[in-house]
A and B are shown apart, each in its own frame.
Chain A
């Protein structure tokens, strides 16, 4: 996979904000909405599928881990930037991640009983060009996915 350095400060050409409650039924809506918004850049089917998968993982993490048995808001911000860069931020105000480095390790999960595979962050990293995670215990987590689309 081509990993390129991506400018996080690239000029924003279009932007979408979404807020939804942490209901699992919203997982499909979230990835479909992001994909629909990105469609204006004419991404390939594979690029769109990768983005949907990465968004699905991040949103699922909010529902399964950040809010666990509680409920809260999930905020999604999508920026279409100069250079055909898609930036998707998925934020929650849930419990936060104690050890982000550990959480990003393949197959690491705190919910094996729930049949979580521990592959969420690995999927995001594999399907995007860059994944930034910042988290504070008791405050919440922000995941920023960056994907550069093919040059038209």
Chain B
């Protein structure tokens, strides 16, 4: 069986929760990623959330639904949501959907690992 290679890493610094996704985001992996992230967001309700897409190898439109859904959830409880450092694969989908009109995209150019 093919294992979809997705990972989620959390980095909580000074009230900013950075959620770093890596690997392939498709419909199959998005279901688990969504459940995992939502449990954390609803339990902790961080005021600022950064979704770090700097390690995404593949993303299709399921990734768009995943981003929009988390954005909506964070906004609903009054938090601030930003996407940071999307790879070209992720950026191409973001651009296609015109998502930048709604969600801030930041580039940190950091060497975070």
Q: Contacts A119-B96, A126-B96 given: A26-B2 contact, CB under 8 Å? A: yes
Q: Contacts A28-B2, A28-B26 given: A116-B60 contact, CB under 8 Å? A: no
A152: CB under 8 A from chain B? no
Q: Contacts A29-B2, A126-B96 given: A119-B27 contact, CB under 8 Å? A: no
Establish whether residues B31 and A24, one from each chain, have CB atoms under 8 Å apart when the complex forms.
yes
Establish whether residues A115 and B34, one from each chain, have CB atoms under 8 Å apart when the complex forms.
yes
Q: Which residues of B contact A (CB under 8 A)?
A: 1-2, 4, 24, 26-28, 30-31, 34, 58, 60-62, 64-66, 68-69, 89, 92-93, 96-97
With contacts A28-B28, A115-B69, A119-B97 known, what are 13 further pairs, Cβ within 8 A? A24-B28, A25-B28, A60-B60, A60-B61, A115-B30, A115-B34, A115-B62, A119-B64, A119-B93, A119-B96, A122-B61, A122-B96, A126-B96
Provide the bound-state CA to CA distance between A113 and B28, in Å. 16
Residues of chain A within 8 A (CB-CB) of B62 are 60, 115-117
A56: CB under 8 A from chain B? yes
Residues of chain B within 8 A (CB-CB) of A123 are 60-61, 93, 96
Establish whether residues B61 and A49, one from each chain, have CB atoms under 8 Å apart when the complex forms.
no
Provide the bound-state CA to CA distance between A117 and B96, in Å. 12
Q: Which residues of A contact B (CB under 8 A)?
A: 24-29, 31-32, 49, 52-53, 56-57, 60, 63-64, 114-117, 119-120, 122-123, 126
Decide if the interface of chain B is mainly helix, strand, loop or mixed: helix
Provide the bound-state CA to CA distance between A115 and B30, in Å. 10
Provide the bound-state CA to CA distance between A115 and B34, in Å. 10
Residues of chain B within 8 A (CB-CB) of A27 are 4, 26-28
Residues of chain A within 8 A (CB-CB) of B69 are 115
Establish whether residues A57 and B60, one from each chain, have CB atoms under 8 Å apart when the complex forms.
yes
